[in-house]
Amino acid sequence: MAAVIAPRIVGAGHAEADWQASRWLSALPGRPLGPLLAGYRRLVVLSPHPDDETLACGGLMRAAAHAGLEVHLVAATDGEACYPGDADWTPQRLREQRPEEVEQALAALGVDAQVRRLGLPDGGLAGCRDTLERAVTALLGPDDLVLAPWERDGHPDHDALGEAALHVAQSTDACLLQYPVWAWHWLQPDATRAPFDAFTVRLDAQAMAAKRRAIACFASQLGTAQPATPPPILPAHVVERFLRPFEVYLA
């Protein structure tokens, strides 16, 4: 695996058109969903903020539910710090709204998930490593497939949760897959080789439509809620990165 040092997330990042032209992204091997999920009883999804699980893993979550797996979602934070200082979108309001948006998104995906909110500080997961590891360890059981952020994703909360999950997986028998979110912002689509060992899972038309509906549930992040938010966390050019007919996972 090539060494990657994630820069800060600044600017608009790469347009989806650049990723559509990326040779290394298009060359990633594919894995069919059926064999990928075979043999597991539960899918345990670790999400740093409400929406990351849907953006990166909505298709796989839907496939797992349809295959009869239990789906468990662990929300590390409530995403309350996304609009600091805004008079309308206060931390308290976001703590209430963002979990509701997750429930709506899960319904749009057709996923009856068990959701656990850890309530850790948004933006502060790097200081909660021990708590994260204890929580993840206590949740895991035999025959679990675990999804967690890539530990080099570039956002400190994503990196912290990814590192905790990686450490727990290395010390247990859990099978861990990692997902990129903000990496699509800063990774180089025209690199000569892939920056990680990864594979894709294809989404059919029904899964893509369900995922699009699920993403639309995050009004507080898209700028579609009332009153209007500051510049939204998920403007259209960012959302495009997660409307591809496939999802990417690091094995």
Q: Are 33 and 168 in contact (CB under 8 A)?
A: no
Residue 142 sits in a domain of what CATH number? 3.40.50.10320
pLDDT confidence of residue 1 = 35
Please check whether residue 9 lies inside any domain of the structure.
no
Q: At residue 4, does pLDDT exceed 60? A: no
8 occurs within a structural domain: no
Find out whether the peptide bond into 230 is cis, omega within 30 degrees of 0.
no
Q: What confidence score (pLDDT) does residue 245 get?
A: 98
Question: What's the pLDDT at 8?
Answer: 64
- Report the number of distinct structural domains present in the chain: 1
Is residue 135 over pLDDT 50? yes
The rounded mean pLDDT for the chain is 94
pLDDT at 53: 98
**Domain that includes residue 153, residue range:** 16-250
Q: Helices marked H in 48-197 — which ranges?
A: 52-66, 91-109, 129-139, 156-170, 183-186
Residue 3 has pLDDT above 60, yes or no: no
pLDDT at position 227, please? 87
Q: Name the percent of the chain lying above pLDDT 90.
A: 89
In a domain, 11, yes or no: no
Per the DSSP assignment, residues forming a β-bridge with 200 are 30, 248
Confidence (pTM): 0.95
Q: Is residue 1 part of a domain?
A: no
Mean pLDDT value across residues 214-222: 97
